[in-house]
Amino acid sequence: MQRISVLITSSPESLTACLDAVAFCRAAINEGQSIDQIFFYQAGVYHANGLMDASANEVDLTKAWQSLATEHAIPLLVCVGAASKRGIVDAEQAEQAGLSQHNLFEPFKQVGLGEFFTFLHTSTKLVQF
């Protein structure tokens, strides 16, 4: 069984790449593979923005990631540096910065790059979208 880490650097606006990523994860799980983590980096952190709203005729990628994570217990990890640079903060970071609200969507979790590399050491494959 392969243990796969998935790295998302595509923004939600790159719909084809993002739908391919979700489909890849589901297919890998259906084939008996394990997804160790899905790590959102660079423009990929926008997937975790809880204030983004998909139109009625658009695919809600944030909900697709949430569903995948919930159904299969896959951690959705967001690079804290890349996210905060793009205005995406969790409750703790918002409080520390004196902000009135946070916008990190559950179950996304902000972490440092070190946590990404820790998971990567146990993975047999890294796939980037």
Active site residues: 79
3-state secondary structure of 96: helix
Report the C-alpha gap between 122 and 107 in whole angstroms: 22
Contact criterion met (CB below 8 Å) for 126 and 7? yes
CA–CA gap between residue 6 and residue 65 (Å, rounded): 12
Distance CA 12, CA 65 (A): 11
Whether residue 79 contacts residue 38, with contact meaning beta carbons closer than 8 Å, is answered with no
CB 14 within 8 A of CB 44: no
**SS3 category, 106:** coil
